[in-house]
Structure 1
Amino acid sequence: MVWCSWGGKGAQLRRSNFTKVWAKAPAKTGLPKIHIHDLRHTGNTLAAATGATLKELMTRMGHSSTKAATVYLHAAKDRDRAIADAMDEIVKQGLGAKDDDDDPPLVGTKIN
């Protein structure tokens, strides 16, 4: 499996030489030593935080089952506030309410 287009001296980067090449990269940039899997985890956690669906995460990671992809959905827990705010906007638009923070509670309001 090819991880990157090119390795050292113009050779194709493969699993067999990836670790050696990768180990030098953070040191050259002044970054702390990190594992390539840390980058994969960070990337997929950020994708989940954008609202990516489980299927989209599975596709990004190349997984055929949901088990591994659900690991990254822990970031979605932080989206509860954003989801609630977006739902609030949909309800306000449906009711024709103004967009302000002084809206009365919707108790007893009929939604068509």
Structure 2
Amino acid sequence: PASEYLFTSHFGRPLDPDNTSHAFQAFAARAGLGRRHVHELRHAAASLMLAAGTPLPEVSRVLGHSSTRITDEVYAHLGHEALRGAVDRLAGVLDPPKT
């Protein structure tokens, strides 16, 4: 049957957060990833979206943040890598390698 929830139990009810966390931690341990938390998947998804150039407002909406300010504050450190790449590419254009 259809449900308003994306992930549900076998009975169509929302998943219990504690059970979900325990199951994820067990899965991560079996996979040799050490102690991991399910929330890290959210952070990884946001990081990958931003690294791929997804505009901040879109990432913010996906994460369900009430404003882009929250997203920017949490993930601001990711922008430094992108900026470094942009500056390096600009330097390559202004000072191309000598052949």
Task: Identify whether the pair has TM-score above 0.5, normalized to the shorter chain.
Answer: yes
Counterpart in 1 of 2:33? 31
Q: Of 46, 49, 52, which aligns to 1:47?
A: 49
**Residue of 93, 98, 101 corresponding to 2:97:** 101
The amino acid of 1:101's aligned partner reads P
Determine the C-alpha separation between the residues in 2 that align with 1:62 and 1:28.
Answer: 31
Query: In 1, distance between residues paired with 2:49 and 2:77?
Result: 11
Q: How many residues align?
A: 91
| Aligned equivalents of 1:22, 1:3: Cα separation in 2 | 17
Change (3 A) 1:2 1:32: farther
What TM-score, normalized by structure 2, do the two folds share? 0.65
User: For residues 11 and 40 of structure 1, what CA distance do their matches in structure 2 show?
Assistant: 25
Give the Å deviation of 1:76: 1.5
Cross-structure match for 2:58:
56
Please report the TM-score for the alignment, with normalisation by the length of structure 1: 0.59
| Structure 2 gap segments, 5+ residues each | none
Q: CA RMSD in A?
A: 3.0
> How far 1:2 sits from its partner (Å)?
4.3
Q: Is the 8 A contact 2:28 2:36 kept in 1?
A: yes
